Structure formats: C-alpha cells, structure tokens
Amino acid sequence: MTKVLVEDKAIVVPGQVLADGMGFLPAGAAYRDNDKIIALQLGMVNISGRLIKLIPLKGLYVPKINDMILGTVEDITMTGWFVDYGGSKYAMLSGRNYGGRDDGRIDDLSTVLNNGDVISAQVFKVIKNNTVDLTMGGPGLRKLTNGRLITVSPPKVPRIIGKQGSMISMIKDATNCRIIVGQNGIIWIYGPDPEMEIVAIETIQKIEELAHTTGLTDLIKEFLEKRVGKKNVQ
Amino acid sequence: MYNERFDGRKSDETRPITAKVGIIPNAKGSAMFKIGNTVAMAAVYGPRILYPKFLKSPDKALLRCNYNMMSFSGSGERVRPGSSRRDREISHITEKALEPVLIVDDFPGSVVDVYIELLQTDAGTRCAGICAASMALAHAGFKMRGLVSAISVGVVGGKLVVDLNNQEEHHEEGHTDCPVGMIARTGEITLLQMDGFATPDQIKKMVESAKKACEQIEEIQRKALLEAYEVAK
C-alpha cells in the first residue's frame, strides 16, 4: 500500500519524504531510499500517473549538448578561448569551432575574440568531468556587442522563454528589445532606448520571482501593459 | 544542583528560534538562523573554479566552509578579527557535518564556498552556523540527502539540559557541552563533540534529547525554506 505524503504542485525541501511504499516511481530530483521516495532538492512535486517527479525550483546549470549559452571570454590560448558561462569551470571554444571554419591560419586569436568579449555559443560536447566544448558555427551564434547582460536562475529559463517562445516574444514585442536567453541563465538585452531595456529587465526579474506560480502569462501581460502603456501587448 | 534554568526554560526546551532564507541577494543561496541571542548568517557561492589547484578532486566538488565571529559579536570584549585556531576547527567540523548530505558529483574539480558569519553570540554558535549553512545550501539548489540540524546538549550542575546558553556554559558547578548535528529524518549523526565529563548513560540520554530538538529545528528550517516561495505567491 503506497501512501503519497505530498500534494501535487507542493513545494518540498531536500530530505522530505514524498511517498511511502513501492507503488510509485521517483523522477527528476527525487530518489528512492528503501521503500520511501525522498526529495533531493528544493523543488515542486509533479504527480502524474505512477510517477512522482520533482522539478527543481533553484539550481545550477548542468550543460547539455546543443544548449545555446552566453558566456564571457576569460582567457586565450594558442588554439582557442576559455569561456566563463557561470559553470563550475571554464568552457573551451576551439579556434576551429569559431564560425565553423577549420582555419589554422589565424595568427593571433585575440584579433577575433578578446578577453571580456561576450559571445553566444552552442554546447558541442560535454564530457563526464563537466568539461564543456563550445562551437560558434551555427545560425545566430556570434560575438555580442552593445546591450547589457543579466543573470537569472537556470531552472527558470524555460518559464522566461515560455511555450514555443511565447513569453519572450511578448517581451520583445512590447519593449522593442532584442533579447537572447542563454540556457545557462545569462540573458543579453539590447533595446532602442535604455528605458525599454529596464522594462525588459524588470519583466524578466518578475518572471523569475513568480516562476513557480500559475497564470503567469496573464500577469506578465498586465505588467507589461502597465509599464509600456500599450494596449496591444500580445 | 541546577534545578531551575537561568532563563526559566524547561530542561528539554530550546531557546526561541527564527529562520529565514534569501537574505543575501548576491549569493547563490543564503540563510539566517537565530536561536536565542545567537545569530548566524550563511552565504553560499559556487560551484566555482578552485584555487589553489592542488585541492582539486577529480570526482566531486570541494566543500569549503569559513566560520567567522564578527568583532562586535561577543558579550563585551571585542573579538579579534581574522582566523584563529578555534575558527579553523569549527570551519573544519562544519565541512565534515555537511559533507555527508551534499551531493556535488556533477561539478568535479570545483569548489562550493560557504561563509558563516556570527553577528551575535551567546553559546551554540557552531550549531547555529551549521543550521544556517544547511539551509543556505538547500536554498542555493544543491542536491542534498536531507537538511542537517544541530543543537548543543549538555550537563549543567548535574542536570541534563538542551541548548545551553552562555551563562549555563560557565556554570560554577561544572558543565558539559555536547554539540550534536544530525539528519533528523534518519537520525544519522554528522557532528558529535564534547567538552567536559559525562557518563556513558548521560551521553546516550543527551543524544536522544538532541534528536528530539533536531526534529523541531528541521521543521523550522523546512518552513523557512517554503516561506520564501509562499511570499512570492
């Protein structure tokens, strides 16, 4: 007989017992300890069928292949760059993965990307010890000039982007800003005027704060209408 | 014989506890833990690049704690700033108390920094520090097998008491102070120290009463972590 000890959509803390018995399977950040299912992280419970899934509310970015991330060039070596993407170590961007060129002829890599340059790049390869290899050979991957960067908690990135990018395109349309959201929680914002950039930042911070609630799209729409003064925020 | 406690508490009663998370926006996770007049704050940074490099481990991140009493924190005399032998010992035992619950296999070769600052001290600082640090780690979103709760128990004037304050720690009829840290759900002990004398029977009783107190503390820690999200709702 399995007893579920938490409600659906409840917020739980590490070490909390979610269910007692063998009738359910743990998923996400939950694990099984003998016949109990235990939470491993601060998160929200999602019960569907016979699955108890724990979705982390806060957490750290774990790189996955094909993720688009933003980072800052921190160091230049003979063959590539080291990029700080907010992870536990620097990611490697090899010279040959820059712009998809297999070009050994660049004499000085600092003429291409210098220390402090911000780039958008794609995760090309991850090996077990969390070493990340990046590539810039994809559409839209480039060096970012102008604009400003903000950092949000990585688990909240899906909420900021929204279903099929609905949330982020709403912000883009309302504020006329260009926004790039990296999966690692670093966001680049560049707008026609600083005030609109600030509105975009405030909106994103509001989403981050309220990411675990329902009815977020309507709330953000209302917020944007109030701040931008436009009736047709979509 | 020490029959009535200085502040009128029952022998198994802790001082009033308040806890809060998210007090330091710059940190990845942060917490405040107040027990009586002892106030501890903890901030978590990382996982980030580890220097010096020789401390690197190829299979997991290093947990590095720093315990510090603020210069104005004591009950009169200025605490000399900077690391002392006592600070280093407490930093070390805090690491050992938190390591068993923390799962940092995903970030090998990096470091998780935990800074514990004591704003005000009235005994039981290492326990308050551990409670705050474990909340801050959970708040930062680290994977943990449970929250670590800690409390000091002891024998004052021949009587077993929970959560000694500074006055009791200096009782003239002799005092034994035994900080206990544990995962309240499983009862696994992660910290056990003792100053003074106690019989084996007394030690057993002390650990038992510490478990009861830790269960209460864990509930307070849990509520504090949830509160951060209920306010936002």
Mean pLDDT, chain B, integer? 92
**Counted domains in chain A:** 3
Are the beta carbons of A66 and A122 closer than 8 angstroms?
yes
Q: Does one domain contain both A139 and A201?
A: no
Q: CATH number, domain at A196?
A: 3.30.1370.10
- Report the residue of B143, B214, B217, B233 to disrupt the A interface, i.e. the one with the largest count of A CBs within 10 Å: B143
Chain A residues touching residue B57 (CB < 8 angstroms): none
Sheet containing A51-56: which strands, arranged edge to edge? A11-12, A43-48, A51-56, A25-28
Q: CATH number, domain at A46?
A: 2.40.50.100
Please tell me whether residue B200 adopts helix, strand or coil conformation: helix
- How much is the pLDDT for A233? 64
Do B143 and A57 make contact, defined as CB atoms within 8 angstroms? Answer: no
Residue A132: closest CA among chain B residues belongs to which residue? B107
Q: CATH number, domain at A138?
A: 2.40.50.140
Do B109 and A129 make contact, defined as CB atoms within 8 angstroms? Answer: yes
- Examine residue A63 and state whether it is found in any structural domain, yes or no: no
Q: Is the confidence at residue B231, as pLDDT, over 60?
A: no
Sequence-ordered list of residues with C-beta below 8 angstroms from that of A124, at least 6 positions apart, any chain: A65, A97, A133, A134, A135
Q: Does one domain contain both A152 and A184?
A: yes
3-class SS string, A125-170: EECCCCCEEEECCCCCCCEECCCEEEECCHHHHHHHHCHHHHHHHH
**What is the value of pTM for the model shown?**
0.91
What average pLDDT does this structure show over B163-176?
87
- How much is the pLDDT for A104? 56
Which structural domain range is residue A114 located in?
A: 68-144
Q: Does one domain contain both A162 and A135?
A: no
Point out the domain boundary residue: A105, A127, A144: A144
- Examine residue A169 and state whether it is found in any structural domain, yes or no: yes
Sequence-ordered list of residues with C-beta below 8 angstroms from that of B118, at least 6 positions apart, any chain: B38, B39, B40, B41, B67, B68, B69, B70, B73, B125, B128, B129
- Examine residue A50 and state whether it is found in any structural domain, yes or no: yes
**CA B43 – CA A112 distance, rounded (Å):** 38
Q: Does one domain contain both A135 and A167?
A: no
- Examine residue A17 and state whether it is found in any structural domain, yes or no: yes
Residue B233 or B165, more confident: B165
The CATH fold assigned to B17-232 is Ribosomal Protein S5; domain 2 (3.30.230)
- How much is the pLDDT for A231? 58
Which residues of chain A are modeled with pLDDT < 50? none
Q: Does one domain contain both A187 and A223?
A: yes
Q: How far apart are the first and last CA of chain B?
A: 52
**CA B95 – CA B62 distance, rounded (Å):** 9
- Examine residue A62 and state whether it is found in any structural domain, yes or no: no
